[in-house]
Amino acid sequence: MKLLTKKMAIAVLAWFTLFTLPAQANDLMMARSKLPFAQAETQLKAQIEAHGYTVSSAKRIDIDLVATGMSKGAYRVIQFGKPAEIKKLAAKFPEMIPFLPLQVVIFAEWEETLFVTLSPTFYSKIAAQSDLIPMYTRWAQDLGSILNMMREKGAAY
């Protein structure tokens, strides 16, 4: 009983933490860095890995977008995750599969670089089971930390 109460308290605390983390308005997390695109991409991958995640792919999708003003080759989708988490989520919560693995979109805006990712508050609307809350909370903290690092590295650039 005590253990159950403790678990519930942790879940409530984690839920509260998840929804009070900064910069998570409206299901998106965004950041801007003064790093040029190429350096930003390299740094982003390094930061993702430094936080214990595996980068599974870096997709190019900027097919012939130069006419719209975008720099050639300056748009990527970085996919990443923790293999065990992705496997478990996909097995237990198929409704989450279309959103897996985690992604950060990175693109150049003039000389700066922007980062956009789905906030874990969005995932919590897809699969809201209480045992997932600690994971969402950790994701939110890690994504917040990664984006913050990108901002800081840009400021120091």
Residues that bind another protein (CB under 8 A): 22-23, 25-28, 30-32, 34, 54-57, 59, 61-65, 68-70, 75, 77, 79, 81, 83, 86-87, 90-91, 94-95, 97-101, 103, 105, 107, 109-110, 112, 114-118, 122, 125-126, 151
* Sign of the CA dihedral running 31, 137, 82, 103: negative
CB of 96 to another protein, least distance (A): 9
Least distance to another protein, CB of residue 6, Å:
28
For residue 95, count other CB atoms closer than 10 A to its CB: 9
Comparing CB distances to another protein, the nearer of 1 and 95 is 95
Structure-block tokens of residue 117: 């990712």
Would you say 96 and 70 are in contact if contact means Cβ atoms under 8 Å apart? no
CB closer to another protein, 101 vs 133? 101
Distance CA 142, CA 36 (A): 23
Minimum distance between the CB of residue 93 and another protein, rounded to whole angstroms? 11
The answer to whether residues 62 and 56 touch, using CB atoms and an 8 Å cutoff, is no
Q: Looking at beta carbons only, is 7 or 129 nearer to another protein?
A: 129
Q: Which is nearer to another protein, 13 or 61 (CB)?
A: 61
State the minimum distance, in angstroms, from the CB of residue 22 to another protein: 5
Residue for token pair 């992705």:
86
* C-alpha 93, offset from chain centre: 19
